[in-house]
Structure 1
Amino acid sequence: MNKKPVYWVGSSKQDLSSFPQPVKDVVGFALHQAQVGEKHEAAKPLKGFGGAGVLEIIEDHDGETYRAVYTVKFQNAVYVLHAFQKKSRKGIKTPQSDIDLIRESLKAAEKDSKAELKSKETSNAKRP
């Protein structure tokens, strides 16, 4: 099976790099599994995004909660849309500002995926 590349949208890679190492290890392994078409046991569909194409990994460490959101909707790559530390102590709901950022990142990923696939079609076309 081909391993899909991981593309980082916006500041997601930089944000993830600030997480504690045990959290980075879990997210890294989950992304590796996504690259080969599998799903990590901690990966759950993010509500409000229409199915299992947008997944969220929630990992607790030292009393703090960290989240990484990625999509497997596109055939060319796994896109990491957002990585953040949950600030609120109340409830499990993802803050609206983070949902908005994830939506923007998903649009950017879709645009990138379409452009990459179109580029591959053009480069694979037979020349006269």
Structure 2
Amino acid sequence: MDLDPETGAAIEGWPHVAQSLQTILGTRINTRVFRREFGSDVPALVDAPMNDENLLALYVAVAEAIDRWEPRFDVTNVGISGSASGAITMTLQGSYRPDAHLTDTTHVSDSVQTIRVTRDRVDNWSLAA
């Protein structure tokens, strides 16, 4: 269970996973004081030129960070798109495993979950489930 940063209400289940993914992908490695390894390389890569090499590095950074820090989401597909304004949108698809943080990976929700994480030029990360 966690708190919604906008409302202050408690959240759990899929909304908590979606918030966790946003936090993981939006946090640079080495920026958390007592957990330096937490986060991902995504913030360092989103401003790089979107050539084949950097796109591959971005896919790898997303997959590695989610695999390490969010066991309740099993990524099956990552889509990345950019806009002329400089915003980048990552569309993540995968299976929600509600008990994986308790090491029970046998229970998987039936539907494929989709989440979009967007970052604009001023380093604002937003989420649309």
**TM-score, normalized by length of structure 2?**
0.31
Larger Rg: 1
Q: Which structure has the higher relative contact order (CA within 8 Å, separation 6+)?
A: 1
**TM-score, normalized by length of structure 1?**
0.31
